Structure 1
Amino acid sequence: MEELNSFVVVANRLPVDMTAHPDGTYSITPSPGGLVTGLSPVLEQHRGCWVGWPGTVDVAPDPFRTDTGILLHPVRLTASDFEGFYEGFSNATLWPLFHDLIVPPVYDVDWWHDFREVNLKFAEAVNQVAAENATVWVQDYQLLLVPGILRQMRPDLCIGFFLHIPFPNPELFRQLPWREEIVRGMLGADLIGFHLPQNADNFLSLTRQVAGTAGSHTGQPDELEVEGEAAIREVKAHVITADGRKVGVGAFPISIDTGAVEQASQSSVEALRADLGSPEIVFLGVDRLDYTKGILQRLLAFEELLESGGLDPATTVFLQVATPSRERIEHYRVSRSQVEEAVGRINGRFGRMGHPVVHYLHRSLPKDDLQILYTAADVMLVTPFKDGMNLVAKEYVAAHRSGTGALILSEFAGAADELTEAYLCNPFDLESIKRQMLAAVHDLRHNPDYAAERMRANSEQVLSHDVNVWASSFLTCLEDFK
């Protein structure tokens, strides 16, 4: 008999990577990623269940517990499910739409059918493991329909939904042919959370335009009532749905488990810098290899500074970690090709024998290795064109709580709302990136007290608003909307 749980998290992926071997055995390793970083401590505290896809197609293990006591309930997806639901609708339709059309979204009706069917699979899995009156916390854009499906299946459940990517302007969202169904799915929750007040405001504005009534392409605004918009921060606003339910809407900026962030040992840092050629300044980027992350633009900015003499290739290196991501999708393949071409060109122009100026790693790194990179880097660049939050920025800041280092941050990352003492840049403007790179280096060299003051202010913000604050504020507000 399936074990029932009073607290259930459901996300596209389980917090582990599972590899199926030809002999039928599996190997399981902890998974990287911001969502895992944010939610794992919450599940450990609640001794709850995590429902998600294990990362393999056509096979899935039986439910099992992690070493920390989290019950994992795998959802089995076929190769066709993966292609249509994940690579298709989630990442070639929703992802570009929610990131302001950086590339054009593809609206494919077959992908939409796959998306609906897979969301139903996830909802059915939750139905199997959720105890009566359980709290279910649905995560992110891949599962936008799950709250609505669960509301029909299990009206006893208390359902929260959190979106980890930006929510677009309503005028962009209305491009989506299935906009009413998506809004209905989200409004199945008791509480809908976003990172920023602007995201929540976009959703509230959308509910006036798209009520989600069956068969309506224009929406029925009179069936929804929006209240409290002026005070959006955490839950100060709600939507009254057509069936009379009150759905909370608010902003809950996610953060990191600061207790798990430790400064790397001095010997490890010195060894890394020696491997890099003992430079005076180490620039660092750590990203998924995604076209929204602005990796190419920061490399081009670095190249122009080397060319102009603003930075000296003999004393400066750039270390870029680019974690493989969605490599079967065309725009991702193009992004990788452009980044790697730029790396080769920059090293060809400015590197020396045995001393490249750009060190490029196209693979995932263990958390301990990342911690060494964070601690060793003088300047971190986090320059996405659009990002819901960006926890890498917060991880870097937490690793420099003593005031060392400098953070260059895109003004279009959610983290810019909180890390206000970062060196903010416009990632679409190479001159803006270059100015902030030079400003950060100048302050570290010639005005270290000022640089340290800025970094300590950012660190204090991260340390006082950690992942536990994020989770507890959301779950407390969810209780109010049961």
Structure 2
Amino acid sequence: MSQASFVVVANRLPVDRDDNGGWRRSPGGLVTALEPVMKGVDGAWVGWPGKADLTLEPFDFDGTRLIPVTLSADDVQNYYEGFSNDTIWPLYHDVIAAPRYRRVWWDTYVEVNERFADAAAAAASPGATVWVQDYQLQLVPRMLREKRPDLTIGYFHHIPFPAYGLFSQLPWRKQVLEGLLGADVVGFQRVADAGNFARAVRRQFHYTTKSTGIHVPQEDGSVRNVLSKAFPISIDAQSYIELAQRPDIQARAREIREGLGNPRAVLLGVDRLDYTKGIRHRLKAFGELLEDGRLGVEDATLVQVASPSRERVEAYVQLRDEIELTVARTNGDFDTMSHTAIRYLHQAFPREEMVALYLAADVMLVTALRDGMNLVAKEYVASRIDNKGVLVLSEFAGAADELGSAVRINPHDIDGLKDAIMRAVEMPRAEQGRRMRALRRRVLDHDVRDWSRLFLDALSNATKKV
């Protein structure tokens, strides 16, 4: 097998099976973010093809070598649904749901991380750069360094990294920190996340941590420097602008508003169905505004897109039931023959339809209780080529660090959220334009290419200093 000079290691391959048994590019945020990076390099991508017990040979797709890692049904249950999404995900999202600590999950997590590390080590040419992605693979950097000390290794953490008081609950906290410290650069979404990581390392190992890096002692008595820093991820803003300029998508946006009965204000929420996204808080605030008479069903409709997510994990099954019950009750109380209070869509849509929704929406509600970044906020801003619309943004989303002209909210404060929604609905056009122009400048200046360039430059510089 030919080896690559640049290797991405991620839980999933960047493709999905289509109806004809072929492959199509996945719609996920990570794939979109890394697509421009993979173009024009001698690249390979190591990942799981998305189906249990599917064994495939490496194959080429769109100029990139794809190297599938096989996971059994037990692996999926223990490593992915178990440790990754029932232990790490809730723990790292401020214990909004209770994490569960099961040794069999951890043991499988170690085994699967080893498998990914083996595949990456085999795929990388001498002196290659390997970029490991996200919380499912936190042990891979160290495993890779032990197998291939010649490699330059980067790791990017797409979700929050918790404060030490929470992280210290993890029975395998030392092993996870050691795994991450195998990288030359450990990237985070927010400055606070990088700080939490450095503090955890200091508390566990008493290593020296400075702004220039973490000093990790080696067995031979030398010290290796690991840079821990924030690199806020972004989107391919230009692709959203191009879609928003298409007459057919603009026509679809008008059609969406007509289909909703042409309310004065269309409010929009777009999320994976996840307890971290604050969907329940959003529905509660909107329902109370209708109940208080501050909004009427003819004035405002909330469109909630909640794409299916982790449907075999119990917390997600329960969340779906709660949300659908709330939607049904609100609509039962307030719908008229011609207007619906909440239009709820438990499905995923292609990017073209999403941009039409963004153009149709007067107010975008991002009410996350905790979010690494939230690219939906940036997608909405990029799509608003008319400089209209209002972004209501949780201060607990990473995007809040960058998008200072949004209407900021604490989603736990339902009264404050209600006031923010009313402020957004009633905001004069001139103020909308002022805020949106500032938001768009930020998103266009710092797009996904900027993110990947900054990270890879830092990785290149970190290894030069050694």
Superposed counterparts of 1:131-146, under 5 Å: 131-146=125-140
Superposed counterparts of 1:314-463, under 5 Å: 314-353=298-337, 355-443=339-427, 447-463=428-444
Indicate yes or no: 2:453 matched with 1:477.
no
1:184 is displaced (CA, Å) by 0.5
Structure 1, residues 424-452: CA drift from partner, whole Å, max 9, x if none? 11111211211110011111xxx210111
Structure 1, residues 248-296: CA drift from partner, whole Å, max 9, x if none? 1111011001121131533121111111111111001110000100111
Superposed counterparts of 1:6-17, under 5 Å: 6-17=5-16
**Separation in 1 of the partners of 2:286 and 2:28?**
27
**Separation in 2 of the partners of 1:28 and 1:321?**
26
SS of residue matched to 2:38: helix
Indicate yes or no: 2:216 matched with 1:240.
yes
Question: Do the aligned partners of 2:297 and 2:339 also contact (CA within 8 Å) in 1?
Answer: no
1:16 is displaced (CA, Å) by 1.6
Structure 1 stretch 238-247 or stretch 290-299: which is displaced more? 238-247
Amino acid corresponding to residue 240 of structure 1 in structure 2: V
Normalised to the residue count of structure 1, the TM-score between the two structures is 0.92
1:206 is displaced (CA, Å) by 0.8
Indicate yes or no: 2:174 matched with 1:180.
yes
SS of residue matched to 1:286: strand
**Structure 2: gaps (5+ residues):** none
**Separation in 2 of the partners of 1:349 and 1:47?**
58
- Per the alignment, residue 216 of structure 1 pairs with none
Normalised to the residue count of structure 2, the TM-score between the two structures is 0.95
Superposed counterparts of 1:56-135, under 5 Å: 56-66=51-61, 68-135=62-129
Structure 1, residues 25-53: CA drift from partner, whole Å, max 9, x if none? 73433222221121111112424111111
Equivalent of 2:230, from 238, 247, 251? 251
Amino acid corresponding to residue 68 of structure 2 in structure 1: P
Question: Do the aligned partners of 1:305 and 1:434 also contact (CA within 8 Å) in 2?
Answer: yes
Superposed counterparts of 1:262-301, under 5 Å: 262=241, 263=244, 264-265=246-247, 266-301=250-285
Question: Do the aligned partners of 1:318 and 1:358 also contact (CA within 8 Å) in 2?
Answer: yes
- Per the alignment, residue 165 of structure 1 pairs with 159
1:480 is displaced (CA, Å) by 1.4
1:349 is displaced (CA, Å) by 0.9
SS of residue matched to 1:210: helix
**Separation in 2 of the partners of 1:325 and 1:397?**
25
**Separation in 2 of the partners of 1:389 and 1:177?**
27
Equivalent of 1:204, from 198, 201, 204? 198
SS of residue matched to 2:411: coil
Sequence identity (%): 49
Structure 1, residues 374-410: CA drift from partner, whole Å, max 9, x if none? 1111100111100000101000001114311000110
Question: Do the aligned partners of 2:5 and 2:42 also contact (CA within 8 Å) in 1?
Answer: no
1:354 is displaced (CA, Å) by 5.1
Question: Do the aligned partners of 1:402 and 1:456 also contact (CA within 8 Å) in 2?
Answer: no
1:227 is displaced (CA, Å) by 1.7
Question: Do the aligned partners of 1:12 and 1:53 also contact (CA within 8 Å) in 2?
Answer: yes
Indicate yes or no: 2:150 matched with 1:151.
no
**Separation in 2 of the partners of 1:173 and 1:162?**
18
**Separation in 1 of the partners of 2:434 and 2:185?**
38
Amino acid corresponding to residue 26 of structure 1 in structure 2: G
**Separation in 2 of the partners of 1:329 and 1:277?**
37
Question: Do the aligned partners of 1:419 and 1:461 also contact (CA within 8 Å) in 2?
Answer: yes
**Separation in 1 of the partners of 2:351 and 2:217?**
43
- Per the alignment, residue 226 of structure 1 pairs with 209
**Separation in 2 of the partners of 1:180 and 1:100?**
19
1:73 is displaced (CA, Å) by 1.2
Question: Do the aligned partners of 2:3 and 2:122 also contact (CA within 8 Å) in 1?
Answer: yes
The runs of at least 4 aligned residues of structure 1 exceeding 6 Å deviation read none
**Structure 1: gaps (5+ residues):** 212-220, 229-235
Question: Do the aligned partners of 2:274 and 2:316 also contact (CA within 8 Å) in 1?
Answer: yes
Question: Do the aligned partners of 1:93 and 1:106 also contact (CA within 8 Å) in 2?
Answer: yes
| Aligned-pair Cα RMSD in Å | 1.4
Equivalent of 2:293, from 309, 314, 319? 309
Question: Do the aligned partners of 1:387 and 1:412 also contact (CA within 8 Å) in 2?
Answer: yes
1:71 is displaced (CA, Å) by 1.9
Question: Do the aligned partners of 1:225 and 1:241 also contact (CA within 8 Å) in 2?
Answer: no
Indicate yes or no: 2:228 matched with 1:260.
no
Q: How many residues align?
A: 455
- Per the alignment, residue 217 of structure 1 pairs with none
